């Protein structure tokens, strides 16, 4: 694995042996590491953003 760009300790970009460029996300548990290609990362970000908005919406309904 060749690290090509670093963004702190939690996220970094790497080229895998198959030639694919992926974002690697570390977790607090060393045995758990997530790997995303560009499309998967975008889908993950969209899902997190949508869940945040839904949480805010439900919070407004409960107040």
pLDDT digits (tens, 9 = 90+) for 10-56: 778 888 888 888 999 888 888 999 999 999 999 999 999 999 999 99
The residue among 20, 25, 26 whose CA lies nearest residue 41 is 25
DSSP-H helix ranges across the chain: 38-62
Q: Cβ of 22: how many Cβ atoms within 10 Å?
A: 19
Confidence of residue 9 (pLDDT cuts 50, 70, 90): low
The model's pLDDT over 36-46, given as tens digits with 9 standing for 90+, comes to 999 999 999 99
User: Which residues contact residue 41 at a Cβ distance below 8 angstroms, ignoring those fewer than 6 apart?
Assistant: 23
Query: How far, in Å, CA of 17 to CA of 3, rounded?
Result: 12
**Residue listed under structure tokens 């670093």:** 6
Would the pTM count as exceeding 0.85? no
Residue 60 has pLDDT above 80, yes or no: yes
Number of independent structural domains in the chain: 1
Domain that holds residue 26: 2-62
């Amino acid at each position: 694995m060749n690290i090509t760009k670093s963004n702190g300790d939690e996220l970094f970009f790497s080229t895998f042996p198959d030639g694919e460029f992926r974002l690697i996300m570390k977790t607090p548990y060393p045995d758990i590491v997530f790997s995303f290609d560009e499309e998967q990362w975008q889908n993950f970000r969209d899902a997190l953003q949508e869940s945040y908005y839904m949480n805010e919406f439900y919070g407004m309904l409960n107040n």
